[in-house]
Copies of this chain bind each other. A is one copy, B any other.
Amino acid sequence: MTKEVFERLLSEKQYKAIKSIFDTMNPVDTATLLPEFEEKELVLLFRLIPKENASMVFTYLDPEEQQILLEAFTDRELEFIMDEMFIDDTVDVIEEMPANVVKRMLAAAGDKRNAINTILNYPEDSAGSIMTLEYISLHPSMTIGDALKKIKSMGEESVTVNICYVIEKHRLLGTISAMDLLTCDDDEKITDVMDENLITVHTLTDKEEVAQLFDKYDVLTIPVLDKEDCIVGIVTVDDAIDVIQEEAEEDFQKMAAIAPTDKPYLKTSVAELWKNRIPWLILLMISATFTGMIISSFEDALSRLVVLTAYIPMLMGTGGNSGSQASVTVIRGLSLGEVEARDVFKVLWKEVRVSVLCGVSLAVACFIKIILIDGMLLKTDGVNEMIALVVALTLCATVICAKVIGALLPIGAKILKLDPAVMASPFITTIVDAVSLLVYFGIAKSFIDII
């Protein structure tokens, strides 16, 4: 359904028709459509959504639209939405709202208020902050038949998760899936059927680690335990997917020297984009003072042999590329748990061998290229075998340094408990630029003195 259809129906006040259309739409699609309307129409349209979908649509809206609606809601509407929304989703909304809206929300939260405050109190990136408190708990003394009866009595709305937890005195003993309940005989004991092989996390476990467990063990939920190993909530796979996406985006942004944000590009204002991008640009620009200083100090050599200048961009570019290949590989390896800080020597030894291979092949290719293309084809002034040799040797040394630096810095960051992704391309490039210039002038000077 397109915006135009709804505009037409709105202008004709065909509210019943709109209601019917909303009834056939997936809440996610409704939530994608609504932000295209202005404030007044948005509120009107939201009120036409069938009651059983309203909280789902609300959950999937962006914070801006959520705020518009929350401010327009009557107390009764607010209470209804708060009652229908899952606690973890409610917390997500609260975290984005200004204080006055939060106050009203908490006042309307009723008996969920304590639960909401509990989750709000966990650190931002912890398992506790993304868990939900709504799950089905069964007692180990139950038979399958008892469990079925209990679930039936709870009714449909409380059971969105297809896994039940067998719990005694707050201790998690095992899990049992809805399908297990369906296929077992009524008189079997749930303790005989339950899966005791538990994958659990603690409230303070980093949410990225939680997401990796979902990927590793292919599970649909992971129970969250507190310090005393008592179960306090569960994380569901949809939240894990969100975390995986967010963390990858954060790494992408850090690698491109952008301050991380989870706002979609087209919805981010120009001022915000500027604010996210300018700090690193200025920092890296100023740090390039070093490369400038190095060049200035070799001014004599350069003015005598200007042809050397022509190869500076190529040397720095290839150095930067080599370094970022190594750093991105190691950063992602660390992120995915494939590489650990203790593997530092394995990584070093591997990168040394790879970098020598890459360095030598590049040097050979570069030597041939200078002689054939720059010398014979383009007939560039001052190009000769000696220059080609100096450039090729520098290239080889630069590539080796770049790869070793690129691989070690992220691991170093990890050991210092910093985020390895900050040691990505732009940072590495700045260091490698300086290194490659020093190597270049060093090699050039010794060879030119020989000449």
A384 contacts B by Cβ under 8 Å: no
A241 touches B238 (CB 8 A): no
Determine the residue in chain B with the shortest Cβ distance to A437: B313
Judged by a CB distance under 8 angstroms, whether A249 is at the interface is yes
Q: Are A324 and B179 interface neighbours, CB within 8 A?
A: no
CA distance A435 to B25 in the complex (A): 50
Cβ-defined contact, A358 with B277, below 8 A: yes
Contact between A314 and B285 (Cβ–Cβ < 8 Å)?
A: yes
Q: Which of B159, B339, B354 contacts A273 (CB 8 A)?
A: B354
Q: Which of B248, B265, B310, B429 contacts A338 (CB 8 A)?
A: B265
Measured in the bound complex, the distance between the Cα atoms of B292 and A317 in whole Å is 12
**Binary contact readout A135-169 vs B (1 if CB under 8 angstroms, 0 otherwise):** 00000000000001001101110011110000000
Given A155-B183, A303-B306, verify A333-B264 contact (CB < 8 Å): yes
**With an 8 A cutoff between CB atoms, is A242 at the interface?**
yes
Q: A320-B429, A339-B266, A429-B320 are in contact. Are A381 and B328 (CB under 8 A)?
A: no
CB A371 to nearest CB in B, in angstroms, measures 13
Closest B-chain residue to A212, C-beta based? B245
A143 CB to nearest B CB, Å: 15
Q: Is the CB of A358 within 8 A of B278?
A: yes
Task: Decide: B178 and A162 in contact? CB cutoff 8 A.
Answer: yes
In the complex formed, the residue of B with least CB distance to A436 is B313
Which residues of chain B are near A320, meaning CB under 8 Å?
320, 429
- Tell yes or no: A231 within 8 A of B by CB: no
What B residues does A277 contact at CB under 8 A? 322, 325, 354, 358
**Minimum C-beta distance from A135 to chain B (A):** 12
CB atoms of B280 and A321 under 8 A apart: yes
Whose C-beta in chain B lies nearest to the C-beta of A198? Answer: B26
Instruction: Establish whether residues A328 and B159, one from each chain, have CB atoms under 8 Å apart when the complex forms.
Output: no
Task: Say whether A181 contacts B182, CB under 8 Å.
Answer: yes
Contacts of A374 in B (CB 8 A): 289, 292
Asked whether A126 is an interface residue with its Cβ less than 8 Å from the other chain, the reply is no
B residues within 8 A CB of A248?
244, 248
Interface residues on chain A, size class = 35 or more
| Residue of A264, A313, A425 with most partner-chain B CB within 10 A | A313
Min CB–CB distance A340 → chain B (angstroms): 9
The answer to whether A357 and B288 have CB atoms under 8 Å apart is no
A189, B184: Cα distance in complex, Å: 22
Kindly provide the distance from the CB of A54 to the nearest chain B CB, expressed in whole angstroms: 15
Residue numbers in B under 8 Å from A285 (CB-CB): 314, 317-318, 362, 365-366, 369, 395
Residue of B nearest to A261 (CB): B329
> Which of A355-376 touch B at CB < 8 Å?
357-358, 361-362, 365-366, 369, 373-374
Contacts of A281 in B (CB 8 A): 318, 321-322, 325, 358, 362, 399
Indicate if the CB atoms of B317 and A362 lie closer than 8 Å. no
Which of the residues B25, B215, B265, B303 comes within 8 Å of A303, measured between beta carbons?
A: B303
CA of A186 to CA of B300 in the docked complex: distance in angstroms?
A: 92
Report A38 CB to chain B, min CB distance, Å. 19
Q: A278, A314, A346 — which one has the most chain B CB atoms within 10 A of its CB? A: A314
Q: How far is the CA of A241 from the CA of B220 in the complex (A)?
A: 11
A161 to B218, CA, bound (A): 12
| A222-230, A252-260, A443-451 - the one binding chain B | A252-260
Chain B residues with CB below 8 A from A148, complex form: 182
Q: Does A414 sit at the interface, judged by CB under 8 A?
A: no
Set of chain B residues within 8 Å of A433, measured between Cβ atoms: 313, 317
B293, A378: Cβ atoms closer than 8 Å: yes
Residues of B within 8 A of A177 (CB): 162, 178
CB<8 Å pairs between A and B, sample of 11: A256-B328, A265-B347, A265-B350, A266-B339, A266-B346, A273-B350, A274-B358, A293-B378, A295-B310, A296-B307, A320-B429
Closest 5 CB pairs of A and B: A178-B178, A288-B314, A256-B328, A162-B162, A291-B313
Query: Other CB < 8 Å A-B pairs besides A281-B318, A295-B310, 9 of them?
Result: A220-B220, A241-B244, A244-B245, A264-B338, A265-B333, A266-B350, A285-B314, A291-B314, A292-B311
